[in-house]
Amino acid sequence: MQNNALIIVAHGSRKASSNEEIKALGEKVKSLQDKRYALVMTAFLEFSTPSLEESILSCIDKGVNEIVILPYFLASGNHVTRDIPEVVQKIHASHPQVKITLTEHLGSSSAMVRLLSDMAFNFNKKL
Protein backbone atom coordinates (compact mmCIF):
# COMPACT_ATOMS: atom_id res chain seq x y z
CA MET A 1 0.00 0.00 0.00
CA GLN A 2 1.10 3.51 -0.72
CA ASN A 3 2.23 5.91 2.01
CA ASN A 4 -0.03 8.65 0.73
CA ALA A 5 -3.34 10.35 1.36
CA LEU A 6 -6.22 11.92 -0.50
CA ILE A 7 -8.03 14.82 1.16
CA ILE A 8 -11.36 15.90 -0.31
CA VAL A 9 -11.87 19.49 0.79
CA ALA A 10 -15.33 21.04 0.69
CA HIS A 11 -16.74 24.40 1.70
CA GLY A 12 -18.61 23.24 4.80
CA SER A 13 -22.08 24.21 5.91
CA ARG A 14 -23.95 25.41 8.95
CA LYS A 15 -26.30 22.51 8.20
CA ALA A 16 -24.78 19.43 9.83
CA SER A 17 -26.47 16.99 7.45
CA SER A 18 -24.73 18.66 4.51
CA ASN A 19 -21.34 18.11 6.16
CA GLU A 20 -22.31 14.50 6.85
CA GLU A 21 -23.02 14.04 3.12
CA ILE A 22 -19.45 15.08 2.36
CA LYS A 23 -18.08 12.72 5.00
CA ALA A 24 -20.19 9.87 3.59
CA LEU A 25 -18.91 10.68 0.10
CA GLY A 26 -15.37 10.51 1.48
CA GLU A 27 -16.07 7.05 2.88
CA LYS A 28 -17.39 5.88 -0.49
CA VAL A 29 -14.32 7.21 -2.27
CA LYS A 30 -12.16 5.55 0.37
CA SER A 31 -13.73 2.17 -0.39
CA LEU A 32 -12.98 2.62 -4.09
CA GLN A 33 -9.45 3.98 -3.62
CA ASP A 34 -8.18 1.85 -0.73
CA LYS A 35 -5.47 0.31 -2.90
CA ARG A 36 -4.29 3.68 -4.22
CA TYR A 37 -4.33 5.74 -1.01
CA ALA A 38 -3.37 4.73 2.51
CA LEU A 39 -5.74 7.40 3.83
CA VAL A 40 -8.78 9.15 2.38
CA MET A 41 -10.05 12.04 4.46
CA THR A 42 -12.44 14.95 4.18
CA ALA A 43 -11.83 18.52 5.26
CA PHE A 44 -13.79 21.75 5.38
CA LEU A 45 -12.94 25.40 4.91
CA GLU A 46 -15.78 26.78 7.01
CA PHE A 47 -18.48 25.78 9.50
CA SER A 48 -17.26 22.23 10.15
CA THR A 49 -14.26 20.19 11.14
CA PRO A 50 -11.70 19.04 10.46
CA SER A 51 -10.23 22.02 8.69
CA LEU A 52 -7.96 21.51 5.71
CA GLU A 53 -4.95 22.39 7.84
CA GLU A 54 -6.00 19.89 10.54
CA SER A 55 -6.46 17.13 7.96
CA ILE A 56 -3.10 17.76 6.32
CA LEU A 57 -1.31 17.85 9.67
CA SER A 58 -3.09 14.67 10.75
CA CYS A 59 -1.76 12.94 7.64
CA ILE A 60 1.75 14.19 8.34
CA ASP A 61 1.50 13.01 11.96
CA LYS A 62 0.58 9.55 10.63
CA GLY A 63 3.77 9.47 8.56
CA VAL A 64 2.22 10.16 5.16
CA ASN A 65 4.79 11.55 2.74
CA GLU A 66 2.54 12.41 -0.20
CA ILE A 67 -0.84 14.17 0.03
CA VAL A 68 -3.27 14.91 -2.79
CA ILE A 69 -5.79 17.69 -2.15
CA LEU A 70 -8.99 17.49 -4.22
CA PRO A 71 -11.18 20.61 -3.98
CA TYR A 72 -14.85 19.58 -3.99
CA PHE A 73 -16.00 22.85 -5.59
CA LEU A 74 -17.90 23.45 -8.81
CA ALA A 75 -16.33 26.79 -9.70
CA SER A 76 -13.00 28.51 -9.18
CA GLY A 77 -14.01 31.12 -6.64
CA ASN A 78 -11.82 32.56 -3.88
CA HIS A 79 -11.66 29.34 -1.90
CA VAL A 80 -10.25 27.46 -4.89
CA THR A 81 -7.96 30.20 -6.22
CA ARG A 82 -6.76 31.73 -2.95
CA ASP A 83 -7.72 30.05 0.32
CA ILE A 84 -6.86 26.42 -0.41
CA PRO A 85 -3.52 27.24 -2.10
CA GLU A 86 -2.59 29.47 0.88
CA VAL A 87 -3.13 26.61 3.34
CA VAL A 88 -1.15 24.22 1.14
CA GLN A 89 1.75 26.69 0.76
CA LYS A 90 1.83 27.44 4.49
CA ILE A 91 2.02 23.79 5.48
CA HIS A 92 4.47 22.89 2.75
CA ALA A 93 6.79 25.67 3.97
CA SER A 94 6.95 24.06 7.42
CA HIS A 95 6.97 20.45 6.11
CA PRO A 96 9.01 20.54 2.87
CA GLN A 97 9.67 16.79 3.06
CA VAL A 98 5.98 16.11 2.35
CA LYS A 99 4.82 16.30 -1.25
CA ILE A 100 1.46 18.08 -1.37
CA THR A 101 -0.33 18.17 -4.71
CA LEU A 102 -3.34 20.40 -5.24
CA THR A 103 -5.55 19.06 -8.04
CA GLU A 104 -7.95 21.05 -10.16
CA HIS A 105 -11.34 21.62 -8.56
CA LEU A 106 -14.16 19.17 -9.25
CA GLY A 107 -16.05 21.50 -11.58
CA SER A 108 -13.10 21.76 -13.96
CA SER A 109 -13.11 18.03 -14.68
CA SER A 110 -14.18 17.06 -18.19
CA ALA A 111 -16.16 14.27 -16.51
CA MET A 112 -18.57 16.91 -15.14
CA VAL A 113 -20.02 17.54 -18.60
CA ARG A 114 -20.71 13.84 -19.01
CA LEU A 115 -22.17 13.57 -15.50
CA LEU A 116 -24.54 16.50 -16.04
CA SER A 117 -25.55 15.17 -19.42
CA ASP A 118 -26.19 11.69 -17.99
CA MET A 119 -28.23 13.12 -15.11
CA ALA A 120 -30.33 15.21 -17.51
CA PHE A 121 -30.84 12.20 -19.78
CA ASN A 122 -31.87 9.96 -16.90
CA PHE A 123 -34.24 12.60 -15.55
CA ASN A 124 -35.81 13.02 -18.98
CA LYS A 125 -36.38 9.24 -19.22
CA LYS A 126 -38.53 9.45 -16.07
CA LEU A 127 -40.84 12.06 -17.59
Catalytic sites, residue numbers: 11
End-to-end CA distance of the chain: 46
CB of 12 closer than 8 Å to CB of 48: yes
- Mean pLDDT within 98-108: 97
pLDDT category, 96, cuts 50, 70, 90? very high
Query: What is the rounded CA–CA span in Å between residue 22 and residue 41?
Result: 10
CB of 10 closer than 8 Å to CB of 22: yes
pLDDT digits over 16-28, tens only? 999 999 999 999 9
Q: Note the pLDDT of residue 1.
A: 53
Helices (H), the chain: 16-33, 52-61, 78, 84-94, 111-126
Query: What is the rounded CA–CA span in Å between residue 12 and residue 29?
Result: 18
pLDDT digits over 35-93, tens only? 999 999 999 999 999 999 999 999 999 999 999 999 999 999 999 999 999 999 999 99
Q: Note the pLDDT of residue 93.
A: 97
